[in-house]
Amino acid sequence: MRRLAVLGLMFIATRSFAQQDPQFTQYMFNNFYYNPAVAGTDGTIKLTGLYRAQWLGYSPTYGDGGAPQTWMLSGHMPVPSLRGGVGAYYMNDKLGPVNNQELTLSYAYHLNIRGGKLSFGIRGGMYSQQVDFSLYRATDPNDPLLAAGGRESQFRPDIGAGVLYRKEKYYVGAGISHLLQPSFDFGLTQNNQLKRHLYVTGGYYYDLDFDVQLQFFTMVESDFSKTSFDVGGLAYFKELLWGGLSFRQSEALILMLGYSLLKDKSLKFGYSLDYIIKDQQAKQPTSHEIMLSYALPVNLSGKKIIRTPRFRY
């Protein structure tokens, strides 16, 4: 009985190496998703949207669940009266017959230390999981979940925390998600529990000359039983164009391109192409991701902002 349900819950945890949370290739533009301490540290009102189509062209051998698709919207800003920043994001992650959704609010407390900014953040929100059991091949045709319509949803509270230190040329931070480790059992004895995930991120900026800037970045993620890493670099030309490469351990080689729009370059468009290097026979060779972000400067000093071609604000 209910073998279908058990198989469905097992699918949720088999997305990729050491991962239950969705992965984003252009994480260096949206570290806020991984670490609530990032909220407001940019000194701008920053809005970001991401859409990811994983293993494009993949089709299942049964049902119409399809390949993973993820999109999210996030925003964060400094709030001087709170001595920090606030932010929020909504994430929708569809994994074939499983649909995960998350809505969170974040607060970060900022301290000025040694010419840099030390930030401590916390977030809280709701995590929902919906499973469409009708998309599975039933080992038991009399499974009561099929008789009930095949679709079940559950909602659970969840929290996360993080710390970040950043200066003009570099940053390093760590965030941890699913501190409550919410479980989704759908009335069964078997359940899927979200494990705590640790994300350690870092980046360094180097001015090659007046027009060209290099950015090096990395992220290490762990569920405290397995660990994987991403590493890469980007080259920016006059803050207008950028391109680069990165590598995701045991997963993909990645190409990233981007372009800044508007006169003040505040609107940015990014595209990434992942070429899968592991288990291609069970997937499709490419994944695609689109990023759009907008940064609106915030006048924290009360003085008139004077923009120059040399200095960034």
Looking at the predicted structure, is the pLDDT value of residue 70 above 90?
A: yes
Residue 302 lies in a domain: no
Question: Does a structural domain hold residue 65?
Answer: yes
**Is it the case that residue 12 has pLDDT exceeding 80?**
no
User: What are the backbone angles phi and psi of residue 65, rounded to the nearest 5°?
Assistant: -65, -40
How is the chain split among helix, strand and coil, in percent rounded to 5? 10, 55, 35
CATH code, domain with 12: 2.40.160.40
Measured from the Cβ of residue 30, the count of other Cβ atoms closer than 10 Å reads 21
Residue-wise pLDDT tens digits, 146-164: 555 567 889 999 999 999 9
Q: Which domain holds residue 156?
A: 3-297
The average confidence (pLDDT) of the chain is 85
Domain-located, residue 305: no
- 307 within a domain of the structure (yes/no): no
Q: Which is it for strands 170-177 and 183-184: parallel, antiparallel or unpaired?
A: unpaired
Q: Does 101 fall in a domain? A: yes
Neighbours of 215 (CB within 10 A): 16
CA 50/CA 74 separation, integer angstroms? 9
Q: Please report, rounded to a whole number, the percentage of residues in the chain having pLDDT higher than 70.
A: 79
Question: Would you tell me how many other CB atoms lie within 10 Å of the CB of residue 176?
Answer: 20
Specify if 309 maps to a domain: no
Domain-embedded: residue 93: yes
Overall pTM > 0.75: yes
- Hey, what are 195's tokens? 């494990």
Is residue 190 one of the residues assigned to a domain? Answer: yes
Domain count, the chain: 1
